[in-house]
Amino acid sequence: MNLDNDLTLHLPLDEIEDNSVLDETENDNDGTVNGHPRLLPDDLFGSCCDFDGADDFIEIKDPFDNSDAFTISIWVRPAVINDGAYHGFIGHESGGVRKPGMWLAPSDGGLHFDSYDAGGTRWTAILENFFTSEGVWVHVAWVKDAAQYKFYRGGELFAAKDAPPQFNRGTTDNYWLGKIDNFWKGQLAHARVYKRALTQEEIAELMLDDQTAASAFKRGHPLEFSVYDDDQQPVLVISDGQPDRRLHVEIANSSQRAIELAQPASPTPSPDNYHFELKFRPGTLSASARTQLGLAAEQKGWAVSRAQQADGTVSVYFLNPAPNDGAALQPGQSVVLTLQNVGAEGGGGSRGTRVELRYSQLKYVGEVAQIEGSRVQHLEIINERGKRNIPLHVGFLGPNRVLNDGHTPNELRLRITNSLGESSIPLAPKTSDAPSTFIISFDVQGDGEQREWALGTSGDLQHVEVNAVRKEGGEEVADASWIATRNAEGKSPEWELTTPDKDSLGPGEMIQLKLSNVISSLPSGQTNLYVRYKNLPGYWDGQFVVSAEKLPLVFEGQSVGVGTNRPRSALDTGAGVLTGAANDYQKAQATLSGGGTVTWRAEPVAAGARSLPAGRLKWTRRFIAISMGG
């Protein structure tokens, strides 16, 4: 079967060039990138496109060729599910009319689809339980076949719905990925549109092709690499005149065969003569690094040179002029090359960047043919300009305890306070090139892991929310001057806190954050919450760590709760048992519902069985009264 027949759009979404993603069909319907989608390395597809859920999307021209039939095929990996919001990943809306589009629904793992017919009648539904987990790739196919819509999940028919004879293509010439009336948060790969209805067999073949291409990618890229500093972190540092740092380039043989260096024709590394080339994007390296960067002295046997291209790209060339005969990089083995005097350009503040490793003049042991290729890695650029210590206090507002019974939702309140009495701390709003950002995170125990120090399991914490709040007229309201955006790409979720318009944090001013729906089933003990900060003008990037405590009992004011995080009296078990000394008969009383009274209630029993009646014991100094009934 030829899967290119009637294909009107194919965006692999594995590369961004000149602010565009390329269409592999003859239609050349390349997508224009809006916001800042980024490429992420991916084990399944090599790389994929990541959307932040705030303003990232890709715009293309209308891919539909007719109004009678179509197939939309796309791989999606949601960063969040069941968060109470719609997240559109492919479609378009204009003037109240939608072209065929799909969303992640707010709850029940639903897939929401929407379309209109030529007369303006809406054809829509939510298919529940389509998505079961965040962070997992799902292949979605929507087929219009005559008067029926068919939806496939992972190549299997999931649902069939009635469809209009003809669908409405809208009045505009545009179509979107990563957005409809709201934004997608997560990753997308291999978006396709056909002008016909594909069969189930063709959809399965399409999925196989995508994954086979990924396997071919791995076979064609036998080397992996990582770049890190002396602390083994993938970072470059903006150091503002401080001595530049070392950067380590570790190159590993990820194939199943030994790889050796071929003998070069010349001992001098150059753009045409290298074993490895490390490429930095324009604006990444500082001026001093561009002139002083070189190999560490202990890297015997390796020569290095550097060159800057017309567009500002900086290349570092590594060459071993005389490789040892018989020396080879065995499967799983790695070599580390260390660069000195490496620093980042400070103009863009803390940010992400990519470095590319190209390799040539390599070969498998026993073969003549040489290996060439390239790999890409993400690096974080962090700021160490200005003052190292920032005058902020980070701590809890109220209790820092979490009831770890596995089902009770807890609430924690963090505050970030300017501890200066008379001076403000500068801020850069989100609209700037380097926005001031606070990142809130905590440790999570994933499936199959033992991390008893974590706040909770991934299941416990999947519905946690972080919101900025403030007091107004004695009431708690949302603080619109701070926006918290969830990012669930890694093992542990993060919330990035930015300000739309503030340019400073005033003397003594506080940011209050409410963490709600915190559930924990992990053992009692302390756990950490992390508040990282970056791009605060005049200060290094850094991190605060605050400790919370997981316990089977919590304290609130002068009260203790066991099995409840809202104690109603001095001691509250959450099951109706209270104790106190309200009437103080030598403090020798226990009460359930008032001084001098103990009340019990009958438990429900099976039909025909005998139950104990409800009753009450009441006493004073002179008498005891027992009443029973029922």
- Distance set, CA 115 to CA 131, 193, 343, 434 (Å): 21, 16, 52, 40
Residue 474 has which token pair?
A: 């004695």
DSSP annotation string for 427-467: ---TTSSS--EEEEEE-EE-TT---TTSSEETTTTTT-EEE
d(CA 591, CA 393): 43
d(CA 591, CA 597): 6
d(CA 293, CA 305): 9
d(CA 210, CA 233): 32
Contacts 24+ apart (CB under 8 A), 62-65: 62/92, 62/99, 62/169, 62/170, 62/172, 62/173, 62/174, 62/175, 63/8, 63/9, 63/27, 63/29, 63/175, 63/193, 64/8, 64/99, 64/100, 64/169, 64/175, 64/193, 64/195, 65/6, 65/8, 65/195
What is the residue whose two structure tokens read 């570092």? 316
What is the residue whose two structure tokens read 């498998």? 364
d(CA 69, CA 195): 6
Using an 8 Å Cβ cutoff, are 581 and 596 in contact? no
Rounded to 5°, angle at Cα 384 from 379 and 389 = 135
Helix (H/G/I), strand (E/B), else coil: 230 = coil
Domain 392-555, CATH class in plain words: mainly beta
Residue 598 has which token pair?
A: 């103990």
- Give helix then strand counts, H and E, for the chain: 2, 50
DSSP 218: H
d(CA 413, CA 400): 8
Residue 446 CB partners (closer than 8 Å, separation 6+): 457, 458, 491
Q: Is 346 exposed, middle or buried (0-12, 13-18, 19+ CB in 10 A)?
A: middle
Task: Give 10-residue mean pLDDT values along the chain (630 residues).
Answer: 88 87 90 90 84 94 93 96 96 88 96 93 96 94 96 96 91 88 95 96 91 65 89 84 80 87 92 94 88 71 89 92 81 90 85 90 88 87 86 93 91 95 92 91 86 91 93 91 83 89 94 96 95 92 94 73 69 59 50 49 55 58 57
Using an 8 Å Cβ cutoff, are 191 and 213 in contact? no
Full-model pTM: 0.51
Using an 8 Å Cβ cutoff, are 283 and 348 in contact? yes
Chain-centroid distance, C-alpha 126: 25
Task: Report domain extents, the chain.
Answer: 7-220, 223-383, 392-555, 558-629
pLDDT of amino acid 588: 45
For 186, phi and psi rounded to 5 degrees? 145, -155
DSSP 283: T
pLDDT of amino acid 39: 86
pLDDT of amino acid 591: 44
Residue 181 CB partners (closer than 8 Å, separation 6+): 86, 88, 93
Residue 208 has which token pair?
A: 């196989």
Are the folds of 223-383 and 392-555 the same?
Answer: yes
d(CA 406, CA 457): 10
d(CA 202, CA 207): 9
Q: Domain spanning 223-383 has what CATH number?
A: 2.60.40.680
Q: Domain spanning 7-220 has what CATH number?
A: 2.60.120.200
